[in-house]
Each structure stands twice: as C-alpha cells, then as structure tokens.
Amino acid sequence: MKKLFLFFLILMYLTSCSSVKRVPEKKYLLTKNTTYVNGKKKNDKVLNTLILQKPNSKTLGLPLPLYFYNIGNKNNPQTASEWGRKRPKTYRFIKNVFSEKQSIAYANSMIRINNWFLKNGQTPSIIDKIKLNKTVKNLKAYYKTQGFFKASVSAKIDTLKNKKANINYFINTGNATFLDTINYKIASPVLNAIYAKEKEKTFLKSGDQYNNENFIKEADRIIKLFRNNGVFHFSENYLGFYNLDSTNANYKTNVDLVILGNRVVRKDGKQISKEFKVQKLRNINVFTDYTFAKKNEPYRDVVRYKEYRFIAHDKITYNPKYLSQSLFVKPDDIYKDTLRNLTRRHLRSLKNFKSVNIRFDTVANSDDQLDVNIYLTPIKKYSFGLETELTHSNIRDLGISGKFSFINRNTFKGAEIFKLSFLGSFFNASQDANKSSNFFNSWEIGSDISLEVPRFVAPFGLNKLVPKRMNPKTLFSLGTSLQKNIGLDRQTFTGFIDYKWQYTPKKTIQLEIFNTQYIRNLNIGNYFDIYNSEYIKLNTIARVYYNDPTYQLQGPDEPVSFMNTVLADTNFQNSNALLHQVNANILDRYNIITSDFVIPTIAYSFTYNNQTNFKDNNFSFFKIRVANSGNIMSLFSKTNANNNKTVFEIPLAQYFKTDIEYKKFWDTHANTVFGIRVFLGAIFPYNNSELPFTKSYFAGGSNDIRAWQTYDLGPGRSSPGLEYNTGSLKLLTSAEYRFDLLGSLKGALFVDAGNIWDITNAVFENNEATFNGLQSLNDIAVGSGFGIRYDFNFLALRLDLGFKMHEPYLASNKWFRNYNFSNAVYNIGINYPF
C-alpha cells in the first residue's frame, strides 16, 4: 500500500502542474482535433496523418510529457556563474556552509535536472494558424486523390477556458468522379504485345471510382511488366495518364494511358531516339576481388566455367562451380529485374562479400544485347571477434556473456563459413536454493565449432530437391558446455546438422535431421538442497517409518537409499499406502531430474513472418515445430532393468513434441502498438521413456505469465510449494498495449493467461496436475500488470510488474484475491517479452 500511495502522490503532483504554464497570452493550447466528413464525425488514421498539428501526447489520459516540459524552464541559466547571479542567496548559503566548489556542483546539478525535463518533455502544442491552413490544403488535396475533385474543407477554432482550444475540420466531399472509357495509346508494337498479355491485371477499370493510388500502382505494374520481359531501358519517364477531366457534370472522366515507343539516348553530345527492344544477355563476367582502389589495375586470372567468366586481380579463390550457383542470369536469356534482384540477394546471403554490384551495359553497336558485370568485394578471409552482451531468459534473470570467435570465410573455396567460438557467462538465476549472497550465482563456459555451407550437402542427389532460388543452407555444428548452476551442475555435448531454406521471402523451413544432445548431470548430491519441499516430505515419512518423531535424514546419500528401502518394503506399503505412494512419487521425480540423457532429435520447423523491417509494427508471425527424439537410435539401443531404452547405458529420451506459436501486432495509433501472442506446446513420451527435465514445459517468468515467478505456477491447479514445477502440455496467451512515455522511455499494459499440465500420466503427478479436457481450462491462471522499458535502439531494458488476477489453485475466491503490490512479481528483462 505504501508503494501505491507513493504512486498516487507522484500522479497528483504531475496533474497539479498547469498544462498552460508555458502558453503565452492570447495563444491557445491545442487539446483536440475533430474531423467531420459530410456532417458526420470521423476518426480516420489517414486523415489524422494529414493534420500537421496535434495535441500533446498523453499517457493514461494525462499529457505527462507536457507536464515534464513545464517543470523545466528554457530561460533558466546554463552556467554555474549565471545560476549563482540569479539565485545569490542559495549560492552563498551553500558556499558559506560548505565551499564554493560545492556551490558550483549544486548549480550544475540544478542545470542538468532542468535540461533533462526540457529534453524529455514535450513543448506545448500551441495552435499555429499557418499549420492550420496547410492542414486544410492537405485534406483538400487528399480528397482530390480519392476522386472528390470538388471537395471543400474549412477549419474552426473553438476556444475553451484557461487558454485551451479545440480545432474542428469540416469536409464536404461532394460527388465522387468515376472512370469511364480507358484508352490505350502504346506506340511501340513490342511494348503493346507485352502489355496485351497481362492487360486484365490492370488497376484501372471502367466504372471504378477515381483513386490516385490505383494510377501509381498501374504505373508501377507496367514498369515491372516491361522490365521483367526484357525491356531493360524502360522507366516511369516513358508513360503517363492524360485527358483526365474533373469538371464533367456527370462526374465521369476518360483516361488515356500513353506509353512512348522510343527511348532517349545521348550520342556524340546529342539526344537521339531509339525504339524499345527486348534485350538479351550476352557475356556474364564475375569480378571476384573487386575494390575501388584496384579498379584500374590489370586482372591476372580468368577462369571460364560453363557460360560464366570469373575474373580476379590476383588468383581466383572461389570455386566457380559453387559461386555460379548464386547466379540466376544466363547468356541468351532476356533481361529480368526479378533475376537481377534474386542474384544480388543470393550473393549477399553468402556473407562473404562486403558489397555486391551488378551492372548491365549495352553492347556497342547493338540495341538488343546487354553485358553483365558483377563486382564482388570480399570480406577478409580471417577475422576475430569479441562480443559481450547482457542476456536474459525466464530462468536466468540477468547474465553477462562474453564470446571470442575465430572465423574463416570461404573455407573450402565454396563460400563456406567456419567458426570456432569460446564463450563464458555469469548469471543471476531465478531461484537460489542455497540462498547465496552473490548476485551472480551461476556460470557457464563452453566452446563450439560450426561450418555453414550455402547449399545442401546431402547424398543420393537429395540436394536437388530444393531449388537454389530458395537459398538453401546446411549447418554442421559440434559443441560442449559446462554449467555451474544454483544446485545441480550440468555438462552438455551437442552435435547437429540443420538444413534451412526460404520457400518464399516470408516463409522459412528448417529441417534438423541430426540434432543429438548428451546431458550429464553433475553434483546431484545437491538435489535435496534445491527441492527442499520434497526433503521435508521424506523426513515426515522417515519419522513414521522409524517411529522416531525427531528423525532427520542426513547427507546426500541417506535420502536416496531411504527412498529405495521404503519402495521395496511391502509391509510399509500395506500399512501406510499413502506415504508409500508419496515416497514412490518423490523417487520417480528424483530419477528423472538427476538422470543423464541422450536426446537424438529429428525436427521440422515452418516459420511465416511478414515483417518488412524492424520498424514495421503491423505484421504477423507464425511458427510450428514438430520433433521426434529417439525413434531411429532406438534400433541400436538396449533395454535396462527398468525397461528403459539405453545407449551406452545412458537412458535414451523418446518422445514426440509439437510447439505452435502465433504473434500479431497492430500499429494502432501514433507511437502505440497492440500485440497478442498464443503458444501451444505438447510433448508425448513413448516406449516407457521418461521426459528429460530440460525438454519439459514450465510457466511463469518475465517472458511468460509475468504475475508468477519462473517455475512457480502449475501444473494445473496444484498448490504452490513444489520447486521447479514442470508439465508436458502448455498453453500461453498474452496481450500487450505499448505506448510512449518520455523520449526513449516506453510504457506497457499487459494481460497474460495460461498454465501447464501433465498429459503423460506420470505416477508422481496428482489429479490436480492432469489435463482432463475442456474442464481443465478452468485451471488457467490470469495475470495483468504494467511495465516500463527504456529503448537503447540496440536493446531495451524492461521492468514489468505482474499482478495475480486468477489463481486456479485457491480453494475459493480465486479472482483478485492477491491483486496488490505486496503480492506483485517484479520482472526485469531485456528486450520485449514477445
């Protein structure tokens, strides 16, 4: 409650600041823009972008940036001496009590604070009639582009109290103009024949309302059409739309599409006309070591491979056979923009060249041939990298990682990339069973080697199944790591072969045909230090078993031997069936978590992402991954005494796993984004296999359901208290509204919902943890909250406060029972949660 009270005090102080404090006399602070179209109020995103002057931005209904600006004063002193002259009493007081040095320091602090408020605040949006008149012109021009050529726009300023005012824009569109007859005037027979093939795809159709956007689209379509059918020299300068009449009383207009038949070229200082022709490619030259500094030096090495010539100042270091696989232009083919762009994109994806420049030069004394010159500037073959970064995950709250890498490009002369890396990390784990006083309570060291091949490496001609235009890649990797965690330590060995290709620019497919992991648990004697609640249960059983109310299991070995003793004791099972079952559950869980595993995985992933760039806030993301572990390797396995498959006496993990994730984002308003996420995952073990702890699902954490800490929630409606709760089914949904606060400081409101369940019928799980169809959806936990993020452009630091709305494990009053600051979860994260 103290924190809540402090929050309201700050809010009351800010709202007490006068929003018109910096508004001059006879001027007005703009508080709202309202647009009326044909007498009806209209809130349109496009119209809002045309309005040049907008009210100060608001957060939760308050103009906080304006309040911050008003706290500052742009007329305040900017030097310590000036500040002292303006506030002599304060300056002298500090000087007399402390020293002049302290007076100067204090003055500079006050100057910095004032400047911070001005920098991070927002100047008052004072109504400017020049901008208002320009807005009226913008709105009128816009409606003309929509076919309302007789539209009229006016604006009215409605003054309010306290130097505030609203602006109302009144738009009378009038009648729309429609397209009537469309005449095609294409002077060139060559261009006319090409256009006729795809005439039905035109954006201009008789009877449609006039829309300037359709004319732009049609011009763009025509240019692409001609340039992808061999007309290399065609551009927007050679087409136009004419004879549009916006004054017809019947509100119809004819359109003449005019395409010139000749292009203009310069020859001997004069401009001459030449007919457009379909042009074919002649010679294709690839300069493999081009640099601007060497452009005038002779080329000493030339290799011809099939229809291509590879040229270098020094010796050619790239195998022409493999480099040619990135070339989609061929001699005697007609010119196409699509193949030019595909070649450029494919060469850049090799990550071997700093720049890729493709030139098409007209052959002398020929109007229908082009020579292709491709200039490649290589990146240095050998390079060393040192990377440091802050890391964050649901399990590890904060980490510092360092990575040293050696990179060898074009390793086998086929643009391959060999990489050897050594890494080290220090982490603050989410839970510290040992209550260590050190902030960084876990660490990890490791190394890996990888080879990325820009094509499929596969036997029996399988590499031909995916066309090269899909940019296929093969990645080989081997690695090992050693983790010192808060309890159980772990050593991991990993090896995999991945195939990846882009089915389309928005769709990516990944096939993991050999992804094998060996997990070796170390320091398992710490198990009952971590899972203390189970240790307490065992001591309860031991006191009954030995009939000693003070009995305490000692050391790391006695609890394990005790569990096996009790399990084999049929007399105790008959007399204390419930305690015997609890003991069996604890032993099963102990064996799963402390067991080593071999996890050989084959997986298929499909990803759809239509985000155009990192600034695009209107996009969808979908990913599905289907994996199987242990199916093939089981053919070479043995069966142990527990009827589990083993390889070299190490348990073999056998399961099917499916993960599905969907994310959608909307750019709802200026500087605001609304996003949703849905995740569904399930894992099904088979052949009596146990599930590796690392492959199970958990709930809670800063990227999950933020009202619960990592591993604290679930499974199902199980009561809290068990450490590291996991499940084999997971459902997660999130919705988040993101907005600007001050400068790089962002805010968010969010709701998370979901849980984990058991679908394996594990003996140590109770009915409350098991998924029982739709009725188990009542077990969904719901949390909500707010967060602040500071965006550094390259990363964002995040603090989210999660409040428990629905707690499925409570016997009654499940909604909002602990919805308060004292039970809130404070999540520190790096970058956005989804």
Return the number of other C-beta atoms located less than 10 Å from residue 199's C-beta: 10
700 vs 568: CA distance, rounded Å: 37
Tokens at residue 699, please?
A: 């709930």
Collapse the DSSP code of 500 into the 3-class scheme (helix H, G, I; strand E, B; otherwise coil) and give the result: strand
Residue 646 within any structural domain of the chain: no
Residue 750 within any structural domain of the chain: no
Q: Report CA-CA distances (Å) from 620 to 613, 616, 821.
A: 12, 10, 34
Strands (E), 369-471: 369-378, 382-391, 396-409, 417-429, 442-453
Q: Are residues 204 and 244 in the same domain?
A: yes
Which pLDDT does position 429 carry in this prediction? 58
Q: Are residues 252 and 345 in the same domain?
A: no
Q: Are residues 147 and 93 in the same domain?
A: yes
- Kindly give, in sequence order, each residue whose CB lies less than 8 Å from that of residue 265, ignoring residues fewer than 6 positions away: 271, 272, 273, 274
Q: Are residues 145 and 27 in the same domain?
A: yes
308-312 and 280-287 beta bridge pairing: parallel
Q: Tell which of 172, 204, 233 closes a domain.
A: 172
Q: Are residues 192 and 165 in the same domain?
A: no
738 vs 360: CA distance, rounded Å: 47
Which pLDDT does position 1 carry in this prediction? 45
Q: Are residues 224 and 317 in the same domain?
A: no
28 vs 676: CA distance, rounded Å: 39
Residue 743 within any structural domain of the chain: no
- Kindly give, in sequence order, each residue whose CB lies less than 8 Å from that of residue 168, ignoring residues fewer than 6 positions away: 34, 35, 36, 155, 156, 158
43 vs 441: CA distance, rounded Å: 54
Domain assignment of residue 574, given as a range: 531-594
Tokens at residue 747, please?
A: 């805010």
Which pLDDT does position 397 carry in this prediction? 56
Q: Are residues 166 and 247 in the same domain?
A: no
Buried b (16+ CB within 10 A) or exposed e, 805-815: bbbbbeeeebe
Tokens at residue 438, please?
A: 């050190």
Q: Are residues 167 and 184 in the same domain?
A: no
Count of the separate structural domains present in the chain: 4
Q: Tell which of 114, 146, 172 closes a domain.
A: 172
672 vs 664: CA distance, rounded Å: 14
Which pLDDT does position 723 carry in this prediction? 67
Q: What average pLDDT values come out for the chain (834 residues) when binned by 10 residues?
A: 48 58 88 94 90 86 82 86 88 85 89 86 89 96 95 94 93 95 94 95 95 96 97 95 87 94 84 91 96 88 94 94 95 96 96 96 90 96 82 57 91 96 77 50 87 91 85 95 77 94 94 92 83 87 93 90 92 91 85 88 96 87 96 82 82 94 89 93 90 90 91 86 82 94 87 94 70 90 94 84 95 92 88 89
Length of the chain: 834
In 3D space, the residue among 723, 779, 718, 722 whose CA is nearest the CA of residue 754 turns out to be: 779
Q: Are residues 44 and 167 in the same domain?
A: yes
Helices (H), 429-500: none
Matching residue, tokens 């010796």? 315
Strand partners, 255: 182
Q: Compute the half-sphere exposure of residue 503: CA atoms within 13 Å on the CB side of its CA.
A: 11
167 vs 35: CA distance, rounded Å: 9
Contact 500, 475 (CB under 8 A): yes
Tokens at residue 252, please?
A: 């119809």
**Element holding 225 (H helix, E strand):** helix 212-227
DSSP state of 393: -
Return the number of other C-beta atoms located less than 10 Å from residue 149's C-beta: 21
Q: Compute the half-sphere exposure of residue 348: CA atoms within 13 Å on the CB side of its CA.
A: 10
Angle at 657 between CA 651 and CA 659, to 5 degrees: 145
Residue 104 within any structural domain of the chain: yes
Q: Which amino acid is at 802?
A: G
Q: Are residues 59 and 158 in the same domain?
A: yes
Residues 315, 319, 323, 324, CA torsion sign:
positive
**Element holding 185 (H helix, E strand):** strand 178-186
Residue 113 within any structural domain of the chain: yes
Which pLDDT does position 634 carry in this prediction? 81
Distance of CA 284 to the CA centre of its chain: 39
644 vs 689: CA distance, rounded Å: 6
Q: Report CA-CA distances (Å) from 378 to 289, 339, 347, 390, 823.
A: 6, 22, 11, 31, 57
172 vs 722: CA distance, rounded Å: 67
Residue 45 within any structural domain of the chain: yes
262 vs 278: CA distance, rounded Å: 13
Contact 720, 755 (CB under 8 A): no
CATH number reported for the structural domain that contains residue 238 in this entry: 3.10.20
CATH number reported for the structural domain that contains residue 319 in this entry: 3.10.20.310
Matching residue, tokens 């002292």? 84
Q: Tell which of 121, 142, 172 closes a domain.
A: 172
Q: Which amino acid is at 786?
A: F
In 3D space, the residue among 432, 434, 380 whose CA is nearest the CA of residue 407 turns out to be: 380
Which pLDDT does position 395 carry in this prediction? 47
Residue 114 within any structural domain of the chain: yes
Buried b (16+ CB within 10 A) or exposed e, 233-260: bbeeebbeeeeeeeeeeebebebebbbb
Q: Which amino acid is at 703?
A: N
Contact 191, 261 (CB under 8 A): yes
Contact 440, 426 (CB under 8 A): yes
- Kindly give, in sequence order, each residue whose CB lies less than 8 Å from that of residue 495, ignoring residues fewer than 6 positions away: 477, 478, 479, 514, 515, 516
Collapse the DSSP code of 646 into the 3-class scheme (helix H, G, I; strand E, B; otherwise coil) and give the result: strand
Q: Are residues 222 and 358 in the same domain?
A: no
Q: Are residues 53 and 129 in the same domain?
A: yes
Q: For 669-733, give the secondary structure using H, E and C.
A: ECCEEEEEEEEEEEEEECCCCCCCHHHCECCCCCCCCCCCCCCCCCCCCCCCCCCCCCECEEEEE
In 3D space, the residue among 512, 532, 518 whose CA is nearest the CA of residue 692 turns out to be: 518
715 vs 712: CA distance, rounded Å: 9
- Kindly give, in sequence order, each residue whose CB lies less than 8 Å from that of residue 83, ignoring residues fewer than 6 positions away: 76, 77, 91, 107, 110, 111
Side-by-side strand order, sheet with 638-639: 638-639, 645-647, 650-651
Q: Report CA-CA distances (Å) from 405 to 331, 354, 368.
A: 41, 19, 50
Q: Give me Rg for the CA atoms of the chain.
A: 35
